[in-house]
Amino acid sequence: MSESVNATYAAAGVDIDAGDEAVELLKPHAERTSRPEVLGGVGGFAGLFSLKLDRWKEPVLASSTDGVGTKIAVAQALDKHDTVGIDLVAMVVDDLVVTGAEPLFLQDYIAVGKVRPQRIEALVSGIAEGCVQAGAALLGGETAEHPGLMGEHDYDLSATGIGVVEAADVLGPDRVRPGDVAIAMGSSGLHSNGYSLARHVLLEIARMPLEGHVEEFGRTLGEELLEPTRIYAKDCLALAAEAEVRTFAHITGGGLEANLARVIPHGLEARLERGTWTPAPVFALIGQRGKVQRAEMEKTFNMGVGMVAVVGAEDVDRALAVLTARHVPAWVLGEIRTSDNAEGPRAVLSGDHPRF
């Protein structure tokens, strides 16, 4: 007869006790994101959020789901996990606000090879910080342990966010008119897009150490690559309240042309001028060390522009003043014109960047 084996879940690689410890550690972080509409706390089967309908005449819910991508590989290599949660929130809420929606709450999903409570706490602390910056509640989430599927030190992040906007205030291509002006909002760096190319160039081709000081950055390469994504949600909502905003475009994978084209209607085009800004040194370094062509750079990275607002021409000065007062780098990027080719590109970059 075969020897009797008392198999356990822990022996199979899933530690329920560690999971419970992680939940207790993250509760204070979730609590600091709370809004008056949140009912109950972390730990239930579902999060509850009271939608106070008397605030809106005709509320429309907006939803968005996203992740962080291979930026996580940099966090893992440096064993620094308290900033990628901010990136996660940014990717979600800055998509929501493009529609004019106020982010209400997020729920995160953290998949790990092995639950390490302190690492989970660091991740959630970043998610909570991002939620505070966005004004959204962290309503709950899930931490899933996947032994055998993921390595012991591996993890991945995703989140879903819900926002709300008055039906009459939904922003989009239908509001855009010839003569409108595109206003750029500066990025904080690479944000969370293009890291597969950035890592390939800087770490594999150029063999630059993450811990090495880079003169152009004034800090280490790792610190530059882990710079959190700027969260524009509150800034965009403030701008929409003060100026005639037609639409926003969140500049992520695909770059300026592809993302702005998503909010420009057929028959119009956004003419954007490279000469209006100089991309941060990290973009030049990637381009030079990898001999990456400009077209490839511009369809992979934000190139220094994280969000674009399209506003009425009469509100340009007001819009710039609002953003400047909120400490958001902003400038006129270009204008919206009637297109000579209805089937052609709806966003076009021209000219050259100064000193790039």
What is the spatial distance between Cα 21 and Cα 38, in angstroms, rounded to a whole number?
23
Is residue 356's pLDDT more than 80? no
Between CA 328 and CA 336, with CA 331 as vertex, the angle to 5 degrees is 125
- Identify which of 246, 271, 249, 267 has the alpha carbon closest to the alpha carbon of residue 351: 271
Domain count, the chain: 2
Q: Is residue 3 part of a domain?
A: no
Q: Is residue 1 part of a domain?
A: no
Average pLDDT of the residues of the chain: 91
The pLDDT, as a whole number, for residue 28 is 75
Q: Is residue 144 part of a domain?
A: yes
* Span of 8-17, 61-70, 87-96, 199-208 with lowest mean pLDDT: 8-17
Q: Is residue 186 part of a domain?
A: yes
- E strand intervals along 167-295: 181-186, 213-214, 219-220, 245-250, 268-273
Q: Is residue 8 part of a domain?
A: no
Q: Is residue 9 part of a domain?
A: no
The pLDDT, as a whole number, for residue 18 is 57
**What pTM does this model have?**
0.90
Q: Are residues 109 and 190 in the same domain?
A: no
The pLDDT, as a whole number, for residue 8 is 43
**Domain boundary residue, one of 97, 132, 166:** 166
Q: Are residues 298 and 199 in the same domain?
A: yes
**Domain range holding 87?**
14-166
- pLDDT: which is higher, 56 or 240: 240
Q: How far apart are the first and last CA of the chain?
A: 75
* Span of 28-42, 89-103, 220-234, 333-347 with lowest mean pLDDT: 28-42
The pLDDT, as a whole number, for residue 4 is 58
Is the separation of the CB atoms in 286 and 296 below 8 Å?
A: no
Is the separation of the CB atoms in 87 and 228 below 8 Å?
A: yes
Mean pLDDT within 12-39: 65
Q: Are residues 89 and 223 in the same domain?
A: no
* Span of 24-28, 255-259, 268-272, 319-323 with lowest mean pLDDT: 24-28
Q: Are residues 105 and 180 in the same domain?
A: no
Mean pLDDT within 79-107: 97
The pLDDT, as a whole number, for residue 19 is 52
User: Which range has the top average pLDDT, 22-26, 220-224, 336-340?
Assistant: 220-224
pLDDT by residue (tens digit) across 195-246?
A: 999 999 999 999 999 999 999 999 999 999 999 999 999 999 999 999 999 9
The pLDDT, as a whole number, for residue 13 is 54
Q: Are residues 269 and 252 in the same domain?
A: yes
Mean pLDDT within 257-279: 95
Q: Are residues 184 and 308 in the same domain?
A: yes
Is the separation of the CB atoms in 173 and 264 below 8 Å?
A: yes
Question: What pLDDT band is residue 92 in, cutting at 50, 70 and 90?
Answer: very high
The pLDDT, as a whole number, for residue 200 is 98
Q: Are residues 201 and 342 in the same domain?
A: yes
Q: Are residues 32 and 96 in the same domain?
A: yes
What is the spatial distance between Cα 278 and Cα 274, in angstroms, rounded to a whole number?
8
Is the separation of the CB atoms in 135 and 102 below 8 Å?
A: yes
**Domain boundary residue, one of 166, 181, 212:** 166
pLDDT by residue (tens digit) across 130-178?
A: 999 999 999 988 999 999 899 998 999 999 999 999 999 999 999 999 9
Q: Are residues 55 and 33 in the same domain?
A: yes
**Domain boundary residue, one of 142, 166, 190:** 166
Is the separation of the CB atoms in 217 and 224 below 8 Å?
A: yes
- pLDDT: which is higher, 288 or 38: 288
The pLDDT, as a whole number, for residue 3 is 58
Over pLDDT 70: what percentage of the chain?
Answer: 90
Q: Are residues 252 and 128 in the same domain?
A: no
